[in-house]
Amino acid sequence: MEVQSLPAALALVAGGGAGLSPEKRAALAVSLPLLQRDYRFERVWFWGCIQGVRGAYYIAEGLGRDRAAPRRCLYSLNCLDWSLLTAASREEVARARQLKGRFQGDPSFQYGPGDPGAEEAAETLPEGAVEPGIKEETRLLATIEQIDKAVGIVPRGAFVKTPLGSVHENRHFEGLSLAEAKKLGSYFHFTEPANLKNKTLLEKANLDPSTDFLDSLEHDIPHGKGSWSVQVEKGGAVVVLRSLLWLGLTFYHVPMTKQYGYVYFGTGEKNTDLPFML
């Protein structure tokens, strides 16, 4: 969610329990434009909040001109002072993803052998290697990447892919109709496609390569509506999608307008019980 539309956007997703205090909203309105200027980002999104035991992490993402390029993640404990999450190695991220349980809310906290998921994380190490501690900052980065990859979504047609491979916002996008907005097939994962390569030539013939270059939500596992809750709220004025895999992720789109976005308010824990709930 962009800072300019944040108050209105939070009001649209408030039905899922997402929200910020007036003080936090005021702090974000001041700090995010400064963040964009200082780091020279093309655009800054407020990503959401991960609630820990002793505090909360407020997350923002900085984007460059190519919207498909990796985003820079930053966190704050008070919505005013921001710290950049430094990139971690693939091995560190893989180990951090194995950790379970609540975040502590302390960036300097280190997970040791006795923490939930530490044994699984140690199994990813090469044989004979000494197990180093995993910083909560690394786990935070790994979790944000997981959520973005699994449930970070955009409406069909909101972005276009140029012949050179870069991705930009579609200036001609005027929003989905209400009928289309209620279909899972009208939304794409805003990440590197995986299922697109498995389509047959006949299926690809019906796709527009400039707009249909991402994976659709209808192919999600558990299949389609098993992973998402689609609701029309405020008398048909807004369509809201809520992830059942990452509880706390809420996406909204106002039909026939350019207004859309997603925000996460949760504990940063994946709902591994989802297959047994269907």
166: number of Cβ within 10 Å: 14
Out of 88-97, 110-119, 177-186, 267-276, the most confident range is 177-186
What is the Cα 22 distance to its own chain's centre?
23
Place of tokens 């999600």: 220
* H, E, C per residue of the chain: CEHHHHHHHHHHCHHHCCCCCHHHHHHHHHHHHHHHHHHCCCEEEEEEEEECCCCEEEEEEEECCCCCCCCEEEEECCCCCEEECCCCCHHHHHHHCCCCCCCCCCCCCEECCCCCCHHHHHCCCCCCCCCCCEEHHHHHHHHHHHHHHHHCEEECCCEEECCCCCEEECCCCCCCCHHHHCCHHHEEECCCCCCHHHCCHHHHHCCCCCCCCCCEHHHCCCCHHHCEEEEEECCCCEEEEEECCCCCEEEEECCCCCCEEEEEEECCCCCCCHHHHC
Residue 180 has pLDDT above 60, yes or no: yes
Q: Which of 36-50, 181-195, 254-268 has the lowest mean pLDDT?
A: 181-195
Shortest CA distance to 261 belongs to which of 42, 48, 84, 77? 48
90 burial level (CB within 10 Å; 0-12, 13-18, 19+): exposed
| Residue type present at position 142 | A
Rounded Cα distance, 119 and 258, in Å: 46
**Residues of the chain with pLDDT > 90: what percent?**
51
Strand 167-169 to 187-189 pairing? unpaired
pLDDT value, residue 128: 43
The stretch 11-28 carries a mean pLDDT of: 84
Q: Do 245 and 268 meet the contact criterion of CB atoms below 8 Å apart?
A: no
Residue 199 banded pLDDT, cuts 50, 70, 90: low
Q: Comparing 55-64, 210-219, 250-259, which segment has the lowest mean pLDDT? A: 210-219
Q: What is the pLDDT of residue 166?
A: 86
List, for residues 125-140, the tens digit of each pLDDT value: 555 444 667 899 999 9
CB 103 within 8 A of CB 140: yes
22 with 28: CB under 8 angstroms? no
Measured in whole angstroms, the distance separating CA 265 from the mean position of its chain's CA atoms is: 11
Q: What confidence score (pLDDT) does residue 223 get?
A: 61
What was the pLDDT predicted at 38?
93
Averaged over 52-74, what is the pLDDT? 90
Nearest residue to 48 via CA among 56, 59, 57: 59
How far is 39 from 255, CA to CA, in rounded Å?
33
Query: What is d(CA 146, CA 207) in angstroms, rounded to the nearest whole number?
Result: 27
162 against 176, higher pLDDT: 176
Q: Positive or negative CA dihedral for 183, 151, 195, 64?
A: positive
